[in-house]
C-alpha cells in the first residue's frame, strides 16, 4: 500500500513540475497540473440550494388529533389488529391514550343522549378462536340506537 502512495506522490510532483504548452500555432495550450483525474473542477458554478419547504405541507396539532382519532376509529370499528399500524399514531397510542380518550367521549355522548329516557340493555357474550371472552352490549331506546 505504501508503494502505491509513494508512486502517486511522485506522479503528482511530476505533473506539477511539467508545465507543457502546445506549439505557438495550435489553439490549445496546457499549463499547470492536469486536474482530469484529481476530482471535480472548482470552476463549475455552484447552483443555489433549494429549500424543500414549498413541497411540504405542515399539519396543525388540531388536524393531527382529528386524523389520529379517525385512524383509531377505523381500527376499532374494523377489528383490525393494532400491530398493522406502521406510522403515527403507532399501535401503543391506539391501544392506550386514543382508546381511553375515544371511550370517554363515547360514554359521555351516551349519557347525554340517554338522560331521562327508558333504555333496554342487551348483552351477549362469546369467546373467539383464541378463547378470549368477548362481551357485546347494546343500548336501545324508542328514539334510536346509540352508536359511538
For residues 108-136, give the mean pLDDT: 90
Q: Pick 118 or 146 by higher pLDDT.
A: 118
Cα 55–chain centre separation: 15
Q: What pLDDT shows up at residue 130?
A: 92
User: Residue 64 belongs to what H/E stretch?
Assistant: helix 61-78
Q: What is the largest CA-CA distance in the chain?
A: 110
User: pTM for this structure?
Assistant: 0.52
Q: What percent of the chain has pLDDT over 70?
A: 78
pLDDT in tens, 43-71: 677 777 888 888 888 889 999 999 999 99
CB–CB of 20/33 below 8 Å?
Answer: no
CB contact burial 64-99 (16+ within 10 A = b; e otherwise): eeeebeebbeebbeeeeebeebeeebeeebbbeebe
The three cell numbers locating residue 118: 327508558
Amino acid at each position: 500500500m505504501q508503494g502505491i502512495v509513494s508512486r502517486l506522490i511522485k506522479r503528482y510532483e511530476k505533473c506539477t513540475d511539467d508545465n507543457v504548452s502546445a506549439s505557438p500555432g495550435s489553439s490549445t495550450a496546457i499549463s499547470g497540473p492536469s486536474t482530469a483525474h484529481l476530482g471535480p473542477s472548482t470552476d463549475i458554478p455552484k447552483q443555489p440550494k433549494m429549500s424543500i419547504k414549498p413541497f411540504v405541507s405542515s399539519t396543525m396539532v388540531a388536524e393531527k388529533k382529528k386524523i389520529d382519532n379517525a385512524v383509531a376509529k377505523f381500527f376499532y370499528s374494523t377489528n383490525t389488529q393494532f400491530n398493522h399500524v406502521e406510522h403515527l399514531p403507532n399501535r401503543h397510542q391506539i391501544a392506550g391514550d386514543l382508546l381511553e380518550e375515544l371511550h370517554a367521549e363515547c360514554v359521555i355522548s351516551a349519557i347525554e343522549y340517554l338522560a331521562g329516557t327508558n333504555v333496554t340493555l342487551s348483552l351477549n357474550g362469546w369467546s373467539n378462536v383464541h378463547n378470549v371472552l368477548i362481551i357485546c352490549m347494546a343500548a336501545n331506546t324508542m328514539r334510536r340506537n346509540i352508536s359511538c
